[in-house]
Structure 1
Amino acid sequence: MKIQKEIIEFEEDKSFKLFSPSLKNCFFWHYHPEIELVYVEASNGIRHVGKNISDFKESDLLLIGSNVPHLNFDYKIQTECRQLVLQMRENFLQDLIFPIPEFENIKKLLDRSYLGLSFSGETKKLVVEKLHHIKDENSFKSFIGLIEILQILAHSTEVKELNNEDTRIKWFLNDKIRMGTIYDYIHENYDKKTNVNEIAEMVSLSTPAFCRYFKKQTNMTFTDFVNTYRINQAKLLLLQNSCVTEVCFQVGFDSLSYFNKLFKKYIGETPSAFKKKHLSKVK
């Protein structure tokens, strides 16, 4: 269940890779520093990007920013499913887009990709055609094709932002040692009672100093963050068709009524309603 960092390898002479993965029976909740453009074609499915969980029908085209957690888009799809995934090198924006004034609109597009962007209509149709075309081109022509694709996306009005806040996992990447320790502690202990004094001692801070540090890093209290983490873990378990009561206790709550109340507060619907709605979309 722990979020995984995907290590992406590129051919030495290429700035991006374009391929067709198939992970239908794999629950791959992951992130990577590379910006990613995903096209998925299926009768219906769910997208889970950052904090957003929503459905798509027939097809979806998404631009996902650096270090934004997301689930593989073919998860639990039992009908025919086709995917094209384009991943750009980690330094793509910094080295290739920033220095060129003519790419200002592309820069702005990639800058806001951390929200998760879903494209529709003629934009999606045109971009998908170009993706299929550049798949068989040589390195130079495929690179020019990628720039054309980004330019189309940058000027499109047929776009929806999936998140209204930053969902990148920079809260532990920016302070790898201390926040990494805190993250690991939460992951190992979210299913039982967490102790703020214990984790403060582990990172060599007094409890008040730890609380100030954590709030500065995450804009949340430690308790709120742990509860958010538990609810996010609960969503993942519910998406795997686990029983609501079992999920409640699996993620560290000792009261089903409190779990239901907190889940509805964070997600806007009860665990049962969430499970019924989203699992019905992938059957």
Structure 2
Amino acid sequence: MNEIQLEKVDFEPGKSFKLFSPRLRNTFLWHYHPEFELVYVEADAGIRHVGSHISGYTQSDLVFIGSSIPHLNFDYRLRSEYHQVVIQLREDFLGSAIGLSPEFSVIHQLFKRAGAGVAFYGETKTIVAERLKQLHNLSSFKQLIELMDIFHFLANSNEYDLLNDDGISMQFFLKDKVRMGAVYEYIDANYNRKPDVNIVAEKVHLTTPAFCRYFKRQTNMTFTDFVNQYRIDMAKNLLMQDKNITETCYAVGFESLSYFNKLFNKITGKNPSDFKKSWIIRQ
């Protein structure tokens, strides 16, 4: 098993940021880099893993990630077509100005919050998504000006969630040698059956009790809870493809329709029927 990867980010000469649209869905890239990163992805449903935070996203995700925070590529294991915009900023993107210029004070606070990973939602996500999609039409200088205005807009928004506790130690993740890749691969191949914690523990060369402790420390979830959330994320994907609720329930590995409905509501805040209706209305 390989260690967490340090990604080397190459910038074009004379540029303080990198704008690109990576496509890595068949690659488990659990990595970190000193550069800040703003990620927008449109997809039916995917995995968000930033620091110790693991959750699923539906339709789209907008996340700002601080320096050296380990994270998984947001297009990992996506099954349908998707679009992604990634902006990587030099660690000294604004130099000393960000901390000294009063005009940058709110942006400075945003960059501090990014140390925990920040996920945006609602109108904020919608507006910023459209602006990010248009960046490639601008000159390099105008891209920079637009980025600063986007960061100012994000900094003044209240539509965000911090993904990790303020006191989290990222050094734990940087030193971690047990790869989550094997865990993801096993769950992805077996979520619709009966994933066995003993098998996955053996895959990462740990005893079952040691793996359970490791997994809880790494994800703040038990293995069973993580598998169930993964199943619900897959279920959302199927419902958005117009599968009915009963066939979706059994397709993702649940044996009880009532339990599926209860767990779906607990995780998403909606029952499967309401989720499907809301998705149809948005189309």
Question: How far apart in 1 are the matches of 2:214 and 2:84?
Answer: 36
| Deviation (angstroms), 1:90 | 1.6
CA contact 2:53–2:219 (8 Å) conserved in 1? no
Question: How far apart in 1 are the matches of 2:126 and 2:173?
Answer: 38
| Deviation (angstroms), 1:96 | 4.5
Of residues 170, 178, 185 in structure 2, which corresponds to 1:240? 185
Question: How far apart in 2 are the matches of 1:104 and 1:63?
Answer: 17
Question: How far apart in 1 are the matches of 2:173 and 2:123?
Answer: 39
Question: How far apart in 2 are the matches of 1:56 and 1:4?
Answer: 24
What's the counterpart of residue 116 of structure 1? 117
What's the counterpart of residue 127 of structure 2? 126
What's the counterpart of residue 207 of structure 1? none
Question: How far apart in 1 are the matches of 2:220 and 2:52?
Answer: 12
Question: How far apart in 1 are the matches of 2:217 and 2:11?
Answer: 42
Q: Counterparts of 1:13-92 in structure 2 under 5 Å?
A: 13-92=14-93
Say yes or no: does 1:146 pair with 2:166.
Answer: no
SS across alignment from 2:86:
strand
Say yes or no: does 1:253 pair with 2:206.
Answer: yes
CA displacement 1:73-114 (0-9 Å, x = unmatched): 000110111100011112114345223220000001001101
Query: CA RMSD of the aligned region, Å?
Result: 2.5
Between stretches 35-44 and 88-97, larger displacement belongs to 88-97
CA contact 1:40–1:60 (8 Å) conserved in 2? yes
Rate the CA distance shift 1:44–1:253 in 2: closer, same or farther, 3 A. same
CA contact 1:41–1:58 (8 Å) conserved in 2? yes
SS across alignment from 1:240:
helix
Letter in 1 for 2:103: E
| Deviation (angstroms), 1:276 | 4.0
Question: How far apart in 1 are the matches of 2:98 and 2:220?
Answer: 39
Q: Counterparts of 1:88-237 in structure 2 under 5 Å?
A: 88-167=89-168, 169-170=170-171, 183=175, 187=177, 233=179, 235-237=180-182
Question: How far apart in 1 are the matches of 2:213 and 2:185?
Answer: 21
Say yes or no: does 1:274 pair with 2:275.
Answer: no
Letter in 2 for 1:38: V
CA contact 1:93–1:107 (8 Å) conserved in 2? no
Identity %: 42
| Deviation (angstroms), 1:249 | 2.6
Rate the CA distance shift 1:266–1:96 in 2: closer, same or farther, 3 A. closer
Aligned pairs, how many?
226
Question: How far apart in 2 are the matches of 1:111 and 1:4?
Answer: 23
| Deviation (angstroms), 1:44 | 0.8
CA contact 1:29–1:70 (8 Å) conserved in 2? yes
| Deviation (angstroms), 1:262 | 6.5
| Deviation (angstroms), 1:172 | 9.5
Question: How far apart in 2 are the matches of 1:258 and 1:275?
Answer: 18
CA contact 1:40–1:73 (8 Å) conserved in 2? yes
What's the counterpart of residue 5 of structure 1? 6
Which ranges in structure 1 are unaligned for 5 or more consecutive residues? 174-182, 188-229
Which ranges in structure 2 are unaligned for 5 or more consecutive residues? 188-195, 238-283
